[in-house]
Amino acid sequence: MDTLTLMLLAALPALVIIAGLKDLTSMTIPNWISLILIGAFFPTALAVGLPLSTVAAHVGVAILALFAGAGMFALRWIGGGDAKLMAASCLWLGVAGSGYFLLWTGIAGGVFCLALIFARFHARPFLFGAPGWVSQLMEPKGDIPYGVAIAVGALLAYPASTLVERFAAGF
């Protein structure tokens, strides 16, 4: 196994976990996470030998995801960092993994939102002394850090991506 290829392939899981944790604790996803994901995709695609046509398809899916994310951002359904993380994740997942990504992100988002609503209703008496981010997260009408669901969706869909399948098949 090529250690460099494994390190490149680990970029998506590592960075979406960081993005989910940052969103959970600060309600923001830094731009550098999406930028590194975009920058790391191309050497990863080269390392696993993705054909140029497949790389172009991955880019096309990412552009569609960015437009969809921008629309959701304009409607105030998600934040700007969520839209960028979603597009960067779709770049990595391509046609093969993006359907699974949307499915898993929707399921994770629904479960997370229900759990958060329940916690916001029942946890208020127990928040004394909690860190500031926990108090912010538990605000009754507060925002939902959807980057958590995007991270879960990306992690669960990643094995179906062309990158991982090509690596597993030995290129």
The answer to whether 122 and 138 are in contact (CB under 8 A) is: no
pLDDT value at position 6? 92
Evaluate the CA torsion angle 159, 112, 60, 29 in order and state its sign: negative
Q: Which residue has the tokens 């959807």?
A: 146
Is the CB of residue 45 less than 8 Å from the CB of residue 162?
no
What average pLDDT score do residues 34-53 get? 97
71 in Cβ contact with 80 (< 8 Å): no
Residue 127 has a pLDDT of 75
Structural domain of residue 55, as residue ranges?
3-168
**Could you read off the pLDDT of 74-99 as tens digits, one per residue?**
999 999 999 999 999 999 999 999 99
Q: Average pLDDT, stretch 150-165?
A: 97
Q: Please tell me the distance from the alpha carbon of residue 119 to that of residue 114, in angstroms, as a whole number.
A: 9
105 pLDDT higher than 70: yes
Q: 19-36, pLDDT tens digit by residue?
A: 999 999 999 999 999 999
| pTM exceeds 0.85 | yes
Is pLDDT at 171 greater than 70 in this prediction?
Answer: no
Q: What is the pLDDT of residues 115-141, one digit of tens each?
A: 999 988 887 777 777 788 888 888 888
- Domain count along the chain: 1
Is there a contact between 20 and 152 (Cβ–Cβ < 8 Å)?
yes
Distance CA 62, CA 163 (A): 15
pLDDT above 70 covers what percent of the chain?
Answer: 99
104: which 2 tokens?
A: 């898993």
Cβ contact 105:150 at 8 Å: yes
Q: CA-based angle 37:101:16, to the nearest 5?
A: 35
